[in-house]
Amino acid sequence: GQSLEQPSEVTAVEGAIVQINCTYQTSGFYGLSWYQQHDGGAPTFLSYNALDGLEETGRFSSFLSRSDSYGYLLLQELQMKDSASYFCAVSEGDTGFQKLVFGTGTRLLVSP
Amino acid sequence: GAVVSQHPSRVICKSGTSVKIECRSLDFQATTMFWYRQFPKKSLMLMATSNEGSKATYEQGVEKDKFLINHASLTLSTLTVTSAHPEDSSFYICSAKMAEKLYEQYFGPGTRLTVT
């Protein structure tokens, strides 16, 4: 079956660095994405890794190891507005019709 | 750019009635649109994938006769929940993809459906 596991909750203080892990087991794999969702809001795209290694986008970085079926999202210089849920998602399916399978989600709480 | 809207944002309906939810890509043409369901503090569950002019592909366990999807144009997809029951109460979110970015989906703000 398909599964993407994430820690349910992570807490940190402003200015800190936090890492959210994602391990996956899916029938197909084109890449690993990360989305942020504030309460009651729409998920927004953060990053995408198709190949092994680290992708950096401002304060956020994402890592992928395909051999380990593992990835993580690294958030640096945490701000209060980073309090949200973070989902990893695997792209799978035939090219052009790729769908996302979402992880269980991690709730990040940033305190002053 | 890449804005997706949903209408209505909230809807309350009685058991047995049908509800239609619209999803529009406002500033791009969406090659594919997706419909998700999300329970409180839970993950997004893909219900179906739809492409303009063709039948939707439903995920296992999703009743196609209950959740009717129509993808009338490259900017509009609709989800109709037929003969709604209280257990259909949920947050329904659509997303859209453009041809230029295969890996990124743009999500609508969601529709909160409550069936009484």
pLDDT in tens, B31-43: 899 999 998 888 9
Tell me what the mean pLDDT of segment B94-105 comes to: 87
Nearest CA in chain A to B112: A40
Task: Return the pLDDT at B36.
Answer: 97
Q: Chain A contacts of B28, Cβ < 8 Å? A: none
Tell me what the mean pLDDT of segment B90-103 comes to: 89
Residue B98 predicted with pLDDT over 90: no
Residue B1 predicted with pLDDT over 80: no
Task: Return the pLDDT at A95.
Answer: 58
Contact A102 B44 (CB under 8 A): yes
List, for chain A, all residue ranges whose pLDDT scores fall below the cut of 50: none
- Angle (nearest 5°) at CA A17 between A12 and A20: 80
